[in-house]
Amino acid sequence: MTDKTKSANTMWGGRFAAGPDAIMEAINASIGYDKRLYAQDIAGSRAHAAMLAAQGILTQADAEAIGEGLQSVLAEIEAGDFVFSAALEDIHMNVEARLKEVIGEPAGRLHTARSRNDQVATDFKLWTRDQIDAAITGIEALQKAFLTQAEAGADWVMPGFTHLQSAQPVTWGHHMMAYVEMLGRDAGRFRDARARMNESPLGAAALAGTSFPIDRHATASALGFDRPAANSLDAVADRDFALEFLSAASICAMHLSRFAEELVIWSSAQFRFVRLSDGFSTGSSIMPQKRNPDAAELLRAKLGRILGATVALFTVMKGLPLAYSKDMQEDKEQVFDAADTLMLCLAAMTGMVRDMAANRPVLEAAAGAGFATATDLADWLVRELNLPFREAHHVTGALVALAEKKGCDLADLTLAELQSGHPGITQDLYSVLGVHNSVASRTSYGGTAPDQVRAQVARWKERLG
């Protein structure tokens, strides 16, 4: 080896001692991560082989040999006996090479009338579809955990906040049901994305279709797609399904992060609204009194990871001309990671919600703090004295100022003091100033009244089954 060669190899670094060839293999190969698509790749190949035989493009004997061989390869992978090779670049070539070792010459006929372009699009779409189904299942499990909390605390009062300032009393059940609704939209987004993506790319070949008399409707049906994709260029160029999955996952993770933030606040010594179970809390190495909401804090951070994956794939796709470019090999790792992260977050949040214990006395004591029934007072003035709301708002503000000056709540003011705000006020006003009376009065559809909460719980229980 010459000094010049030694210098070049040193430049490539330790693992690239062989020079440019090793670097090209490392940057070009995707088997390190796309091996996760093995089940979808084999399913697509089996459907393709069966269709080729049905169309007379393959003999029945070859198709049967391919089908049986693929099942053998699948068993090897699932048993952990399969050796993946970076030299073979990707999951498609690894499976095909092993199939040839198993069944011989017929394996070479499998790739008739298809390309790795439509093959990978099909595999990836099938995998993403499976992840959507798993995400919906995880979301529904979390919704059921929230429903259990809501049903138990349908009439427990707690403060409702705006700007994290005490605003009006609400029920614990009402607060829990807010997240059931959010998660319902998340599941809806995943279902919408699934319906839109459920078109098969298989048979689009490299980009222009094929001259062989294939039946794309048959392979689409065999793989559970609604129909074949109608444009071969679009079929191999499309990664909208992955972007929609990531977008829906990001919104869902944002919702989980919002509740995680509430759990961090609520479980603090200053709030004491909830106690998280030991399974989702940790202690301090030096402060024995601490119970840290680590699981909630980690959940709060996971959105950054999922949203980062979303931005990464948008960035990959934004400037690509039709149809396939090698850039699109960078479409999978972030989607794989985001899917894993989302499922972990859903499982962790389900455990936290299921196990958390609300501190009902503390919630009730906090519900009336900060003159939380001031709006009830203003509403009473409008309803009973026929005051314009703006005037009622002004009267209420003056009475809040009086109570604040006296260091008491509105309900603790005497009737004479209340009448100093407006002479028409009667003893009946006291009936709306208690927090339980306040929440019970909010009977509009979707309101916080216990009966409304129970009705929404029943609706969702029926919907989720």
pLDDT in tens, 66-94: 999 999 999 999 999 999 999 899 999 99
State the pLDDT at residue 19: 63
Q: Residue 192 and residue 241: Cα distance in Å, rounded?
A: 11
**And the tokens for 48?**
């393709």
- In this structure, what token pair is assigned to residue 414? 């005497």
Question: What amino acid occupies position 286?
Answer: I
- Alpha carbons 313 and 238: distance in angstroms, whole number: 12
Alpha helices in 267-388 (DSSP H): 294-317, 333-355, 360-367, 374-385
Q: What's the pLDDT at 23?
A: 80
Catalytic residues: 163, 284
pLDDT (0 to 100) of residue 20: 66
pLDDT tens track for 432-459: 888 898 899 889 999 999 999 999 999 9
How is residue 189 written in tokens? 């987004």
Average pLDDT over residues 236-264: 98
Average pLDDT, the chain: 91
pLDDT of 11 higher than 70: no
- Determine the pLDDT at residue 10: 46
Q: What is the pTM of this model?
A: 0.89
Q: State residue 16's pLDDT score.
A: 54
- Report the distance separating Cα 4 and Cα 404, nearest Å: 84
pLDDT at 167: 80
Q: Report the alpha-carbon distance of residue 86 to residue 167 in Å, rounded.
A: 60
Position 243 pLDDT exceeds 90: yes
